[in-house]
Chains A and B, each alone.
Chain A
Amino acid sequence: MADEEKTMPEIPKGQPFIKTEMIDPIFMMQYDACTRCGECEKWCPALDAKDGDRKYSPMNKISRFREYMGRSYGLKAKLFGSKRLDEDDIQDFADAFFHCSTCGVCATVCEAGINTVDMYEATRQQLVMRGNGPYGKTVNFPKLIGEYRNPYLKQQSQRLDWIPDDVEIAEKADVAYFAGCTAGFNQQVLGVCTARVLNHLNVPFIYLGEEEWCCSSAIIRTGQPHKGDIPKITALHNVEALEAKGVKQVMFACAGCYRVATIDWPKQIGRKPNFEVVHVADLLAQLIQEGKIEWKKSFDNKIITYHDPCHLGRHCGVYETPRVVLDNLPGLKFVEMDRIKGLQRCCGAGGGVKAGIPDMALDIASERIRDAQAVKADILSSCCPFCRRNIGDGRDSVYDQVGSTNYDLRDNPDNEMQVEDMIVLVAELMGLSTKIKSQEEEEEKLDHLKDKV
């Protein structure tokens, strides 16, 4: 590296070594606003997962970038030219920058009020443009979403495949259900339960079907929106398609899509859409408070706790309605874990971490499981398919260690904690089927076979 540097041409005077065209001027200023109080270090889940290695500390990342900027744009750089930076050092910095779930707890506790999430995403974009990111499989997101309109390599014609025969989708209604790719393809139980619950509550809704495109959250979070401008294209498409249907409300059960619709769509298209963005928890809480929900089943005195998804809670401020719902489910005692609401501990899946750095995602999720165990929860519920999946993986990882550690469950390993989305629990207690189409078809086949036998 040292020899290479010697032969590399000097950077022309006035030209910075790291460019910043993707970073908003306000975000650039934020790098100079850090008071280095260190509060962020107390809360950062990535730093915890990395055993306190300060390379991953939010404060340290901010300091490093400010230093780079100083060398590229400071007085000395103006007088004598921008200083060449060690590429290994920049890659090391990028490595730290992508080991972050962009949960935003550092922004919540920041004394200087720095909006870290947007600042990190913009800086990631700059790093990606430089060739210092993204990580792992996340590099494929723009290509997949650009080509297939979803990250799961599915055809758009398969968008309707998850809908069971008993679900009624209206031709015209005031409400649209935006299922999202994960509920539509990968965790269909969420889409199925949401649709059945809406049907059961007599809330007619339309569904875009093949016209629904990925919200592109994964591209934005991983600093790749400039690649083909996909988030802008998908935002425009989705908003225009929903507006063309004349809906007044768009209902989401996925925290990731909800965050994009609430915060990113207006930014991408330069205006607020002509419809209200609603999370299904808001609707359910309202109906519960109005006494309009009748439960058909009950749990057997179990303890339930709630994990705030970052995208729903900290990013969008939806804290109370999921709690109202869970607190009212029959046969369940609702308890709070340590670190909730604005100070919630992230599950570790966001910011491209689950796809790009799965080991770290698992470590963070395991911590969340321990939080739930500390309050003796039988069920850990959330409102986000990514939290559900990652915390579920974290639970499996923690339970795998039962035999080799002093873990509490050694005494009762069968008492496995259930990790489930709020909407699935609601559907179950309403007495609705939570089986997805393929399960039902499988059962039908089996029944048919039994009849034959």
Chain B
Amino acid sequence: MSDFVYYSGIPSFVVMLGIAMVAIVIFLVGMYLNMKKWGNGSASHFLSVFLKKINHEKYGHHPRQSLLSTIFLDIMLQRRILRRSPFRWVMHMLIFIGWIGMFVLSMVFAMFEMLHLVGIGNIDLNVTRNSLDFANEILGYMLLIGLIIAIVRRLAISDVSKRTQMFDWVLVLGTLVITITGFMAEGFRPDAITGAWTFLGANIELAQAFALFHVTISLLFCIAYIPYSKYMHMLAAPMVILVNGGGE
């Protein structure tokens, strides 16, 4: 078990950190280019307009609701989707909670890993990983179910199928690949506490290589790729809702 320095099974945390840094840099460059595009050639112009407009007075008879209501009701609970289609809301919430939840748990564990590496606290990573396993499982299944609904919907409902473009498929299928490889990476890896191998593997090199593959494509697809793809709506839509004052 001591061979597993990193929870996902990667022997070197430095490799992991390097890939993460590359992904973050690509993400930031993309975000900068987007903000520059939005701000008519100036990212700072965009930011200043955005910050100013979050609280600007709205003209007409649709008053701006409180920022907290907007964040909770419109961004977290996505009531605009619920109002239009409860079915699509369930699908979207499964993907949204699954994706965000797993992202947060990954960040939390990476933080524990860093604390462990620098020797702060007496952290047993295997115990920590095990304690997060259940939440990860639930979130992983939520994401998987949401994605399956999204794919079936795009294939089976004629209207949706007609308007689906590669732009949409890349996001759905890419996330599906990440989700499936995540389950496989877990399957290749021995149990955090008992060290028992699961049904997929009994080969530590394969488990490590697959974990590295999964984490690499996850970082590149789910972070670096955001500003260059349909993923951008994950950031732009909440920002738009904030600026436009929320509400149904």
Residues of chain A whose beta carbon lies under 8 Å from any beta carbon of chain B: 20-21, 23-26, 28-30, 32-39, 41, 54, 57, 59-60, 63, 69, 73-75, 78, 109-115, 262-263, 266-267, 272, 315-318
Chain B residues near A113: list those with CB within 8 A.
74, 80, 237, 240-241, 244, 246-247
Asked if A25 meets B50 with Cβ closer than 8 Å, knowing A111-B80, A112-B233, the reply is yes
Report how far A318 CA is from B60 CA in the complex, Å: 10
Chain A residues near B39: list those with CB within 8 A.
25, 28
Report how far A37 CA is from B85 CA in the complex, Å: 10
Asked if A38 meets B168 with Cβ closer than 8 Å, knowing A25-B49, A33-B239, A75-B33, the reply is no
Contact partner of B240 (CB less than 8 A), chosen from A29, A57, A109, is A29
Q: Count how many chain B residues have C-beta atoms less than 8 Å from C-beta atoms of the other chain.
A: 46
Contacts A41-B159, A111-B78 aside, 15 further interface pairs with beta carbons under 8 A come to A21-B40, A24-B49, A26-B240, A28-B38, A29-B50, A32-B34, A33-B233, A33-B240, A36-B165, A41-B163, A57-B163, A60-B163, A111-B84, A263-B60, A272-B59
Report how far A344 CA is from B190 CA in the complex, Å: 59
A-B interface, 7 closest residue pairs, ranked by CB to CB distance from nearest: A317-B61, A33-B236, A73-B37, A112-B237, A28-B38, A113-B241, A32-B236
Chain A residues near B62: list those with CB within 8 A.
317
B163 near A36 (CB under 8 angstroms)? yes
**CB proximity to A under 8 Å, residues B5-45:** 29-30, 33-34, 36-40, 45
B241 near A25 (CB under 8 angstroms)? no
A262 near B244 (CB under 8 angstroms)? no
Interface flags, B56-74, vs A, CB<8A=1, else 0 = 0101111000000000001
A23 near B40 (CB under 8 angstroms)? yes
Chain A residues near B57: list those with CB within 8 A.
272
Report how far A261 CA is from B66 CA in the complex, Å: 25
Contact partner of A29 (CB less than 8 A), chosen from B46, B61, B85, is B46
A115 near B244 (CB under 8 angstroms)? yes
B81 near A37 (CB under 8 angstroms)? yes
For this complex, 27 residue pairs linking A to B, each with C-beta atoms less than 8 Å apart, are: A20-B37, A24-B49, A26-B49, A28-B39, A29-B239, A30-B236, A32-B34, A32-B232, A33-B240, A34-B233, A36-B167, A37-B84, A54-B163, A59-B163, A63-B165, A74-B37, A74-B228, A75-B33, A75-B228, A111-B80, A112-B80, A113-B240, A113-B244, A262-B59, A267-B59, A316-B60, A316-B61
Chain A residues near B53: list those with CB within 8 A.
26
Contact partner of A26 (CB less than 8 A), chosen from B37, B50, B160, is B50
Chain A residues near B49: list those with CB within 8 A.
24-26
Report how far A34 CA is from B171 CA in the complex, Å: 14
Report how far A444 CA is from B40 CA in the complex, Å: 63
Report how far A447 CA is from B130 CA in the complex, Å: 99
Asked if A28 meets B40 with Cβ closer than 8 Å, knowing A34-B233, A59-B163, the reply is yes
- In the complex, the chain A residue whose C-beta lies closest to that of B241 is A113
Chain A residues near B29: list those with CB within 8 A.
75
- In the complex, the chain A residue whose C-beta lies closest to that of B70 is A113
Interface flags, B193-216, vs A, CB<8A=1, else 0 = 000000000000000000000000
B40 near A75 (CB under 8 angstroms)? no
Interface flags, B210-248, vs A, CB<8A=1, else 0 = 000000000000000000101011001101110110110
Chain A residues near B60: list those with CB within 8 A.
262-263, 315-317
Return B98 CB to nearest CB of chain A, in Å. 17
Report how far A395 CA is from B141 CA in the complex, Å: 55
A25 near B45 (CB under 8 angstroms)? yes
Asked if A26 meets B230 with Cβ closer than 8 Å, knowing A38-B160, A73-B36, the reply is no
B37 near A109 (CB under 8 angstroms)? no
Return A290 CB to nearest CB of chain B, in Å. 22
Report how far A28 CA is from B241 CA in the complex, Å: 14
Report how far A416 CA is from B204 CA in the complex, Å: 83
Chain B residues near A73: list those with CB within 8 A.
33, 36-37
- In the complex, the chain A residue whose C-beta lies closest to that of B168 is A36
Return A259 CB to nearest CB of chain B, in Å. 8
Return B44 CB to nearest CB of chain A, in Å. 11
**CB proximity to A under 8 Å, residues B116-172:** 159-160, 162-163, 165, 167-168
A38 near B163 (CB under 8 angstroms)? yes
Chain A residues near B165: list those with CB within 8 A.
36, 63
Report how far A78 CA is from B43 CA in the complex, Å: 14
Report how far A30 CA is from B46 CA in the complex, Å: 12
- In the complex, the chain A residue whose C-beta lies closest to that of B47 is A25
B61 near A262 (CB under 8 angstroms)? yes
B61 near A109 (CB under 8 angstroms)? no
Return B163 CB to nearest CB of chain A, in Å. 5
Asked if A112 meets B59 with Cβ closer than 8 Å, knowing A32-B34, A54-B163, A73-B37, the reply is no
Report how far A30 CA is from B74 CA in the complex, Å: 16
Return B120 CB to nearest CB of chain A, in Å. 38
Chain A residues near B78: list those with CB within 8 A.
111
Return A53 CB to nearest CB of chain B, in Å. 12
B84 near A109 (CB under 8 angstroms)? yes
Indicate the member of B37, B59, B80, B246 with the most A CB atoms within 10 Å: B37
**CB proximity to A under 8 Å, residues B70-101:** 74, 78, 80-81, 84-85, 88
B167 near A63 (CB under 8 angstroms)? yes
Report how far A35 CA is from B232 CA in the complex, Å: 9
Contact partner of A266 (CB less than 8 A), chosen from B30, B59, B232, is B59
Return B229 CB to nearest CB of chain A, in Å. 10
Asked if A30 meets B81 with Cβ closer than 8 Å, knowing A25-B38, A73-B33, A317-B60, the reply is no
Return B92 CB to nearest CB of chain A, in Å. 8
Return A58 CB to nearest CB of chain B, in Å. 12
Return B134 CB to nearest CB of chain A, in Å. 30
B237 near A78 (CB under 8 angstroms)? no
Report how far A57 CA is from B46 CA in the complex, Å: 28
Report how far A316 CA is from B63 CA in the complex, Å: 10
